[in-house]
């Protein structure tokens, strides 16, 4: 049955001139059929470069919003409208403006794992991969970091000259990975390297041999001479890690690393979305332009 569904999806993608995006945490079978897989913002950037008329985003709501921000001329579909992000929901534009009022003149650095409206009330965005460089690029001595306190605290280690004001948001999935679980896995597999995402709690990330984004994990594991890794991020990443490095072993750091929102989207959902051309994700133009400005400021920072 799944092969028949995949074939129908491929035919509809061609018929609709659509590109299928899948985040690194999606179900294996969804990643397998996607045209592009990767981190959330990278997917939106790549999709904006295509000549596709339609973007089918297998991810969560804020990711589809980012695609709509960067590709206003394309129709953006999110197969599961109920696929949200608890961390993104922990901050609102109103709450952010209240915090800004308490710290006049302090720039707001907002993680891309946030709503379009929150981005629109921010000075600059960041990803987990470039957050350090973004903060370093600011001339001010203070920054408001939204919404992920764990990513913010990890970044702060590398920019000690700046004072951070953290929004108390977090990723529930990464927060469920405890130091005790990691230490047990390290004891069970002493020869393995432990890699984790900077959304992890500080007591976990300090145990890591390497802390990086999901795309960074692919590069690190592929090029590392090590052959065994304990992986501290959502379980969906194991699909491509094993695909890229079939000769290496990957062990999930904790069974708690399972995001129910990232696992909502099925092949059946993708098929129905293409058949009905819904649900459509759009961003009001005034919010889109302000959010894009925050993203553009980030993208203007030179890469290494």
pLDDT digits (tens, 9 = 90+) for 14-55: 999 999 999 999 999 999 999 999 999 999 999 999 999 999
Dihedral sign from CA coordinates of 124, 69, 95, 91: negative
What pTM does this model have? 0.96
pLDDT attached to residue 1? 67
In 3-state terms, what secondary structure has residue 75? Answer: strand
Cα distance between residue 1 and residue 213, in whole Å: 35
pLDDT attached to residue 302? 86
Cα distance between residue 268 and residue 250, in whole Å: 29
* 30 closest CA partner among 284, 265, 282, 300: 265
In 3-state terms, what secondary structure has residue 173? Answer: helix
pLDDT attached to residue 114? 98
Q: Which residues of the chain have pLDDT under 50?
A: none
- Tokens for 13? 């993608």
pLDDT attached to residue 109? 98
The answer to whether the beta carbons of residues 215 and 194 sit under 8 Å apart is: no
Burial class (CB in 10 A: 0-12, 13-18, 19+), 274: buried
In 3-state terms, what secondary structure has residue 196? Answer: strand
Distance of CA 87 to the CA centre of its chain: 11
Burial class (CB in 10 A: 0-12, 13-18, 19+), 196: buried
- Tokens for 5? 């569904």
Q: Which helix (H) or strand (E) holds 296?
A: helix 285-299
Domains of the chain in sequence order: 2-84+262-282 (3.40.50.10800), 88-170+288-299 (3.40.50.10800), 177-252 (3.40.50.10800)
């Amino acid at each position: 049955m799944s092969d028949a569904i995949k074939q129908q999806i491929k035919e509809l993608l061609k018929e609709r001139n659509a590109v299928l995006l899948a985040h690194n945490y999606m179900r294996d079978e969804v990643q397998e059929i996607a045209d592009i897989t990767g981190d959330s913002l990278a997917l939106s950037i790549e999709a904006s470069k295509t000549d596709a008329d339609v973007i089918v985003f297998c991810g969560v709501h804020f990711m589809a919003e980012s695609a709509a921000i960067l590709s206003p001329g394309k129709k953006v579909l999110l197969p599961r409208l109920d696929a949200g992000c608890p961390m993104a929901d922990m901050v609102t534009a109103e709450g952010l403006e209240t915090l800004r009022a308490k710290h006049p003149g302090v720039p707001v650095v907002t993680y891309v794992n946030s709503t379009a409206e929150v981005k629109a009330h921010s000075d600059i965005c960041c990803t987990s991969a470039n957050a350090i460089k973004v903060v370093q690029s600011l001339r001010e001595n203070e920054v408001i970091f939204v919404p992920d306190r764990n990513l913010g605290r990890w970044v702060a280690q590398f920019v000690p000259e700046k004072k951070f004001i953290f929004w108390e948001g977090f990723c529930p999935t990464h927060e469920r990975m405890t130091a005790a679980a990691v230490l047990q896995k390290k004891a069970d597999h002493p020869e393995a390297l432990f890699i984790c995402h900077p959304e992890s709690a500080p007591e976990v990330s300090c145990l890591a041999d390497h802390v990086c984004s999901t795309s960074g994990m692919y590069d690190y594991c592929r090029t590392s001479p090590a052959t065994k890794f304990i992986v501290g991020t959502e379980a969906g990443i194991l699909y491509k890690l094993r695909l890229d490095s079939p000769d290496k072993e990957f062990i999930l750091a904790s069974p708690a690393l399972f995001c129910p929102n990232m696992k909502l989207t099925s092949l059946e959902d993708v098929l129905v979305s293409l058949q009905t051309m819904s649900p459509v994700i759009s961003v009001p133009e005034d919010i889109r332009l302000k959010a894009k400005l925050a993203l553009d400021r980030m993208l203007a920072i030179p890469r290494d």
